[in-house]
Structure 1
């Protein structure tokens, strides 16, 4: 099996399947052909297929194949086929997709840190774009799947296995978001009982121990538009800068531990803002009337409603703080400028969710607003589909259009959500399968150390964000409230929360040991790839069938 894993790895790495590109079609169709050539699927062609993602701008597809055994107890093998670009390889870039000595020779001439240099000289690591993240894990799953297919053909396969490689994990997870529909349909068709999803993301080491992730952090992106009051810079106290308000919100949230969920001895990373700017179309001497920004918030159990209400409170307090600051400055200015007559500067703090803004407009104009919104949505979706706008920026575009339509002239802060959304998930908390993640870890940990001397440790939540989020809902929330506050919800972006909840699959991240993903020193450990993880993954699959 070792040689077969390496053969598949080289084949997959050679495909330049950069995320958000038509190149993702190549590995998807390779897997579809790979499945069709397996004798079992010549007898059961209905159990494999290539699912076209609806309305996908790149025409991407999801290959899948189900081996049905004696029992409906099913383990899902997945993993993403897309990779990030290779510009950082510099002069070695022409060989970034070639596993072999030429790339290693080129890397040897490039700046390498001590660890990378030692690994390169050891000969114990395989180098190249995607070898770790995550075509190495896919190669393991593909080789194991071939072996299990022989058992399925002979009628000796004890449980069932579903293999579903997906595109677009590196960007918006369109693959797994749509793949859950496949999982739902197959569960309904064959009454499958999903025991575990194994996502072979490359794993780290902590003090020599390989890490298994029992869950995956949630990620949500609040998008905020602040409207102040326009005024000439020469009469600055007649206006109210939107930047000052948004900057206060930024100071209160960026890096704030107030948003960091804690689980056992782990804490979610605090928020990081990705964008903050005014909305002027050009230069003039007026005070910035509007400003916008969006940031990433991570969660272990906080729901979108939790984040929205926490942020609403912060926005109100930030607004009030900036009003007090502006008035304080004005009171001092009055003392030195005889022409000032205003007694006090005061603005009422108004903060609303995007849905509340839409309700206001809908109650005012009814169908006229619905027609306006449909037109605005189509225009923005066209920009997203053509690559002219990202999901976050397109979200701001719609929020601004609705704010314009509302006719609101007073200072206001509007909060919405930009895709993609990743619900937090933990394999020990899946309804009806409580503790399955810990059971999987305990089994693999003992086996790995006994057979290979490879110690294991675990983390409750993988902080890198992953497709595990779409296997189960372990922190329930109001799906309709989230979608109502997500301007792009619909054809441009959607999540089948009901299907995720219905499938309820405990998931773990367990793949070969790797290092420096997304860097030119990306590499995967040869022994972990070809010996340790294939052996322990096979044993884990068979163990889960028995639970």
Structure 2
């Protein structure tokens, strides 16, 4: 076991002290500071071209990744391990009156002594083995662990039979511009230096899975994340004649009832199950108050996957949308009949039937009907929309669908299903390749080596349960799966683009060995120092050695 606690703690505090909230100038500052720190290591003074700070591409923000590598001298192997982790954090407004201490762990912990705290947080604060502050857990202590190993091997390249790359990326907390930009650098280095990428080790945080869970988890592969979205049209009417029209908000409500928390939409693989989808936005697109019902509504849902592809998800949600539409029309008819009975007004049979299209289906229909006039108009419309900086990728996509809908000849109520944001691909690590098999064996051996020195169980699982940059170093989806994303995102190629072919070229098996703690993204974010500062770097180090052996 390497004695590394104080060194990793010092690096952690150094990084935490630099406020690096995503989408702020802080991301630029921390990259500059980290490059300066790494460049000061004697090895990089001797090899200055082995460390670089590179700006992200196709990004509205100015921010940078920091990358460095050490070439081992123990042998002539080209096998290369990538150590990766993100430098950015979420905001600090939740610290309220303690905001000025959020990035100063020692001062924050002193101030927290005077606060009313939950019993577990109070116990941790008083234990001497927990560190509090923004980014200590998510995930600057993880970056610090990798930084420690980079420094060690830069001082002892004779212990390395192969190569080690350090990647500190920006923008993990928003759109992953950092890791997606870094793919180009990694590919260039592969060609220039002959690196053979055999494993990537991420160091994002891990937490208990439930109250009382004492396990410290290491993850092979990661959950995938989609944002399926629906543009929903109704039939407008004056509210005084409400049964003469169909409120799209009524359809949206029934759709959310059908999808939200639905266990049928949990994806089980290798004995592990995703949480069900949940709505992240539900609104109508009415610009201002009138007594007319809305023309359209917009909803989107978080959707995690383990083994399903984006194509599978579209098919499943199309079925769910049909059910919801049918249920909504049945409820509408039942209430209309009740109202007719009460009022004495005649009941008129409903003219509507459930209609659900994917965006790709609607677009193909409109191209068939209108040809170049439609495609030319939509290209021009997207160019205009791009000038509106207030539109994120999700609202941009909604506005594109809304405009396309205007070209539909049959404007009877419908639901249009599409993707409106970044797809973070799922990664399965099953041992199907020699590289995967070697990484799994190395991880198992490393945990076995270290477990006797630590009192809590260190347990491996198959899917990292949170969104992370692990998703962008390998690809488990086939072309049809990725095609379902690219063909059904209305902003694809304009507002939103991901070079999935770059991910497929890299295609390196990835695991997550990260700091352990609680309350990431919250005021009481904290990490356990013994596991995070001692076990994490030692397990990671052993994996590196076993994989490069």
CA–CA separation in structure 2 for the residues paired with 1:61 and 1:258: 41
1:400 shift after superposition:
1.3
1:335 shift after superposition:
4.8
Gap change, CA 1:232 and 1:436, over 3 Å in 2: farther
Work out whether 1:281 is the aligned partner of 2:287: yes
Work out whether 1:49 is the aligned partner of 2:55: no
CA–CA separation in structure 1 for the residues paired with 2:474 and 2:432: 7
Q: Secondary structure at the match of 1:288?
A: coil
What does residue 187 of structure 2 align with? Answer: 184
Q: TM-score normalized by structure 2?
A: 0.92
1:228 shift after superposition:
1.2
CA–CA separation in structure 1 for the residues paired with 2:386 and 2:123: 48
Which residue of the other structure, out of 492, 495, 498, is the alignment partner of 2:498?
495
Whether the 8 Å contact between 2:336 and 2:347 is mirrored in structure 1 is no
What does residue 26 of structure 1 align with? Answer: 29
1:333 shift after superposition:
4.5
Whether the 8 Å contact between 1:214 and 1:437 is mirrored in structure 2 is no
1:347 shift after superposition:
1.5
Which residue of the other structure, out of 32, 35, 48, is the alignment partner of 2:38?
35
Q: TM-score normalized by structure 1?
A: 0.92
Q: Secondary structure at the match of 1:132?
A: helix
What does residue 126 of structure 1 align with? Answer: 131
1:187 shift after superposition:
2.7
1:251 shift after superposition:
1.1
Can you list the C-alpha shifts for 1:329-376, whole angstroms capped at 9, x where unaligned?
A: 44454556565374x213133211112222233334434333332333
Work out whether 1:457 is the aligned partner of 2:463: no
CA–CA separation in structure 1 for the residues paired with 2:399 and 2:315: 23
Which residue of the other structure, out of 395, 398, 401, is the alignment partner of 2:397?
395
What does residue 307 of structure 2 align with? Answer: 301
Which residue of the other structure, out of 270, 278, 293, is the alignment partner of 1:272?
278
Q: Write the mapping of 1:104-503 to structure 2, written as runs, cut at 5 A.
A: 104-152=109-157, 157-204=160-207, 207-335=213-341, 340=346, 342=348, 344-383=349-388, 386=389, 388-406=390-408, 408-428=410-430, 431-436=433-438, 438-478=440-480, 479-503=482-506
Gap change, CA 1:241 and 1:72, over 3 Å in 2: same
1:486 shift after superposition:
0.8
CA–CA separation in structure 1 for the residues paired with 2:57 and 2:431: 31
Greater shift in the superposed pair: 11-20 or 479-488: 479-488
Q: Give 5+ residue unaligned stretches, structure 2.
A: none
CA–CA separation in structure 2 for the residues paired with 1:369 and 1:40: 59
Work out whether 1:15 is the aligned partner of 2:21: no
Gap change, CA 1:454 and 1:322, over 3 Å in 2: closer
Gap change, CA 1:328 and 1:203, over 3 Å in 2: closer
Can you list the C-alpha shifts for 1:41-99, whole angstroms capped at 9, x where unaligned?
A: 44544443222212312111112112223311111101110011112222221111113
Whether the 8 Å contact between 2:70 and 2:165 is mirrored in structure 1 is yes
Gap change, CA 1:382 and 1:148, over 3 Å in 2: farther
Whether the 8 Å contact between 1:257 and 1:270 is mirrored in structure 2 is yes
CA–CA separation in structure 2 for the residues paired with 1:5 and 1:285: 62
1:117 shift after superposition:
0.9
1:157 shift after superposition:
2.9
Gap change, CA 1:410 and 1:164, over 3 Å in 2: same
CA–CA separation in structure 1 for the residues paired with 2:330 and 2:216: 53
CA–CA separation in structure 1 for the residues paired with 2:347 and 2:373: 43
CA–CA separation in structure 2 for the residues paired with 1:252 and 1:188: 50
Which residue of the other structure, out of 515, 532, 535, is the alignment partner of 1:529?
532
Q: What's the C-alpha RMSD, in Å, of the aligned pairs?
A: 2.3
Gap change, CA 1:221 and 1:430, over 3 Å in 2: farther
CA–CA separation in structure 2 for the residues paired with 1:51 and 1:374: 32
Can you list the C-alpha shifts for 1:467-517, whole angstroms capped at 9, x where unaligned?
A: 111121224352233111112222432222222222221111112222221
